[in-house]
Amino acid sequence: MSDCIEVIKPFAAALHEEHLGDVQIIGGICTAALKHPDTVILFDSKEVIAPSTLTLSTIRNDSNRTLRDLDVFVPTSETARINRVKKLLDDTVRGELDPSVFGLKPQSCLQQKINNPLGAAAMTFVSDRFEWENDTLVKSLFPLSVPMDRDSIEPWTLSVGDLHVSIPNPAMAIINYLCRSITGLRPKDQEKIEELVMNVFRKETQLRDWAIDGEGKSQVELGLLLRSFTPNKQHTDLLGLNRRILTIPELAEDPAFMMPNMEHIQKVALLGAMSVKACGLAAVEPIEIFRSGYQSVVERTPFGSKIVDSD
């Protein structure tokens, strides 16, 4: 049985050789390292140092014995650069993990949603990161959007023995789960994220401040707003913020709603349709047989595209 860390080493070496140090591995070994009780987190130097004994099988511990995902974030919308990383990944991992490479989406993709709000609302299930005007970034789960601090995608370094690879800020590893899905935090991720919250914020208290009052704040706020789509779901207050869930009419007038000039009744109708869809998905999330069904047509990773496991 292969180990993820050994499988990833040639890919990490290829990234280093081509000076692609900002390309980040999401989930997988990142999550495993952050959950480990002996991992050291250094805020000032942006480092996560896991025990050299850390291992993670390339095969999931599920009934189907499927390959574990290797999700890779390239912080650009440049197609050529994203495709280069895909090529490096295919050449080095060689089918031992299930790879996915994604980057920032261009402004035109989000503008298309604004131009066709009903169609966009019907097809949107998870959030994505978009480049916006004047070199700014936004995190959006249409029709909601918040500005993103560019520092929130600055890479940290994960070291496991002689493996050194870029990962997201550990606080973002938590926030991404809270603001990625139309249904909020999924039940299957609950225990994992609770463990991450306890481990990460206990070891490095500055990361909680970074998440709540610093560079991660706007994306935390998006996660809080998304709860309005499923108001009857039991949303756990993982960050201890004690915020109430907004009603749909209140959400319609929140600054995060992307089309402020739309008539209020139209906003409510659009958000109401999103809520119906979200509540329907939330109702069946705990049912194992349904997971493989709707996840295959939704999207991916804590950042965007198909929703799948990344533990």
Q: Kindly report the length of the chain.
A: 311
Angstrom CA distances, 90 to 38, 60, 103, 108, 308, stand at 32, 20, 17, 28, 20
> CA 282, CA 277: separation in Å to the nearest integer?
9
Task: Kindly report the average pLDDT of the chain as a whole number.
Answer: 89
Cα distance from N-terminal residue to C-terminal residue, the chain? 17
Retrieve residue 36's tokens: 């480990």
Does 311 score more than 60 pLDDT? no
Write down the pLDDT at residue 49: 98
Q: Which stretches of 133-254 are DSSP H helices?
A: 170-178, 187-203, 205-212, 217-226, 248-252
Residue 279 has pLDDT above 90, yes or no: yes
Q: What is the mean pLDDT of residues 70-91?
A: 95
Whole-structure pTM over 0.85, yes or no? yes
Model pLDDT for residues 105-144, shown as the tens digit of each residue: 999 999 999 999 999 999 999 999 999 888 899 999 999 9
pLDDT of 66: 84
Mean pLDDT of 15-19: 95
pLDDT digits (tens, 9 = 90+) for 200-216: 999 999 999 999 999 99
Could you state, in order of their start, the residue ranges of all structural domains in the chain? 4-295
pLDDT of residue 65: 78
Q: 231: which 2 tokens?
A: 């108001």
**Residue-level pLDDT at 307:** 36
Residues 67 and 60 sit within 8 Å (Cβ to Cβ) = yes
Q: 3-class secondary structure for 62-100?
A: CCCCCECEEEEEECCCCHHHHHHHHHHHHHHHCCCCEEE
Strand partners for 157: 47, 166
